[in-house]
Structure 1
Amino acid sequence: LTNHFDWLPSSLYICSHGYLTFYPSHFTRKQEKEQGNREKTMNGYERVNSKGASKAEQIDLESGETLYPGISYGENQLRWGFIRKVYGILAAQLVLTTVVSAFVVLSAPVNELLRGNSGLLLFLCLIPFILLWPLHVYHQKHPVNLIVLGLFTVSLSLTVGVSCANTDGRIVLEALILTAGVVTSLTGYTFWASKKGKDFSYLGPILFTSLIILILTGLIQMFFPLGPTSVAIYGGISALIFCGYIVYDTDNLSYGHGTIV
């Protein structure tokens, strides 16, 4: 009786929609083994069968390094390479920001020039927002994208340097430690949640709406200053919004909602 049903194990496949589909194909055990070593397509990706995968692929899949369930080995490797590139650029931006900010803090003439000229300081605050447009337009034009990104980072670094020069060093250190702790913990949590299949893409519209309200409130505050309590509440809400953006952007890196360049 068993010989008549050699094809049965290869006739049942769990589809991506969650139900069983029966394929009455008369495979032999040898054909089933050969078929099992082939890559099958699911949800638009080629799923790697652990029986037919190479040793390196098996180690990668079994070590828990996959970004999310259902991703293929090739897509997983490509996505990790993209993530390393993104965080490498981010690290370079942080180093550049530190160098420029330290120069502004330690150079008294530069600090006095920026602090004493409110028009120049306001212009430097507006430059990052102006550069957002060429950053979007030339994000795939190398090396123009890196040049614009460098200008964006330097313009932000100058304002950060002025803020650090006119703020107590203890407060700056506290802000650095808190920021590093929050970013590290939220990034780690998002990667862990992605491995479990969680998706945070729904946060996009919520965060964008909150950011618009935050910007408008800041503009209103320039003409109608808020009290100390309101400023503290405003700062806390701002921190929560950008914490949400850390989770949302990290989720986009994991699931590939953005474009791999």
Structure 2
Amino acid sequence: MSMNTSMFTKRDVESGGAGGGARPLYPTMLESPQLRWSFIRKVYIILTLQLLLTIAVAAVVVFVRPIAHFFVSSTPGLALYILLIFIPFITLCPLYYYHQKHPLNYFLLLIFTVTLAFAVGLTCAFTSGKIILESVILTTVVVFSLTIYTFWAARRGHDFNFLGPFLFGALLVLLVFALIQILFPLGKLSLMIYGCLASIIFCGYIIYDTDNLIKRFSYDEYIWASVSLYLDVINLFLSLLTVFRAAD
């Protein structure tokens, strides 16, 4: 954080954190509300650009049929598909380490977003348009609703930091469940249960990460904050897609 920002924040704290009369985001807020709102806007702008890029890349994969067929009908394509699945997770390591180093952080974020979008597009390529539309609509409604709720709850003094350990434990259970499902397919009912559990878990993560955005992420962590929310939204969409495909 720059010296000017640090001095500005210190003056706001010494003056009671009022930030020039702006209303605090939560009752115990000491920092400047203007600085925090500026940070929040920056994160949501980055998140919006990530989602728009994801939609664009996924749409190309879905509508240009030879791309999807290449990945599923040939050995090199299948190997590349597996590589594309792992690249986003591999990119997370240097992205976490360099998330404050500009412009490398944006370059790594671009690689992370495009490769993950490609994997999402391949998942949607063999799914009916009706199911994709239903998943997109429900994801949009849920994300907006939970975001508004979290801001409302934070302003009234609620804190969701306690969700962290529970969500992490639930995510581990979900990963083991997915591994079992891959090794020993248990049918559509099991797939639907998995999708429903995953949807609930990532709804919890949206609340948890939004609460961190309001209270705990530092101003230099805008990349990591956007990545966290982006993963929550994408995973919620894929979970709902799983539920609708199992129910179809």
TM-score of the superposed pair, with normalisation by structure 1 = 0.75
Deviation at 1:158, TM superposition (A): 0.8
Aligned to 1:94: 51
Give the corresponding residue for 1:199: 159
Matched, 1:180 2:140: yes
User: Alpha-carbon deviations, 1:109-154, whole Å to 9, x = none?
Assistant: 2222123232221111111111111111111111111111111111
1:209 to 163, 169, 172: 169
Letter in 2 for 1:237: L
What is the SS of the residue equivalent to 1:191?
helix
Quick check: 1:79 aligned with 2:36?
yes
The 3 A distance-change label for structure 1 pair 122 and 67 is same
The structure that is strand-richer by fraction is 1
Counterpart Cα distance in 2 of 1:46 and 1:124: 50
Opposite residue 86 of structure 1, the aligned amino acid is V
Structure 1 equivalent of residue 14 of structure 2? 46
Which of 66, 70, 95 is the equivalent residue of 1:109? 66
Work out whether 1:69 is the aligned partner of 2:37. Answer: no
CA distance in 1, matches of 2:203, 2:171: 12
Unaligned runs of 5+ in 2: 1-9, 221-248
Q: Which runs of 5+ in 1 are unaligned?
A: 1-40
Q: Which runs of 4+ in 1 moved over 4 A?
A: none
Q: Indicate the residue corresponding to 1:156 in structure 2.
A: 116
Mapped partners of 1:209, 1:259: distance in 2: 25
Residues matched between the structures, number: 207
Q: 2-side partners of 1:88 and 1:206: how far apart?
A: 29
Higher RCO (C-alpha under 8 Å, 6+ residues apart): 2
Aligned identity (percent) is: 49
Distance 1:236 1:156 in 2: 22
> TM-score, normalised on structure 2?
0.78
Instruction: State the 1:226 CA deviation.
Output: 1.7
Q: Which residue of 1 aligns with 2:6?
A: none
The aligned counterpart of 1:131 is 91
Deviations 1:183-205 (A, max 9, x none): 00000000000000111001111
Q: Distance in 2 between matches of 1:115 and 1:203?
A: 39
Q: CA deviation at 1:49?
A: 8.5
- Seen in structure 2, the aligned counterparts of structure 1 residues 195 and 49 have a Cα distance that, compared at 3 Å, is closer
Rounded Cα–Cα distance in structure 2 between residues aligned with 1:236 and 1:114: 28
Rounded to whole Å, the distance in 2 between the matches of 1:98 and 1:79 is: 29
**What is aligned with 1:141?**
101
- The CA RMSD measured in Å over matched residues stands at 1.9
User: Contact 1:45–1:71 at 8 Å: present in 2 too?
Assistant: no
Listed one character per residue, the Cα deviations across residues 26-85 of structure 1 (whole Å, up to 9, x for unaligned) are xxxxxxxxxxxxxxx9xx9434488xx8xxx33x33xxxx2111324x521111111001
Decide whether the 8 Å contact of 1:164 with 1:172 is kept in 2: yes
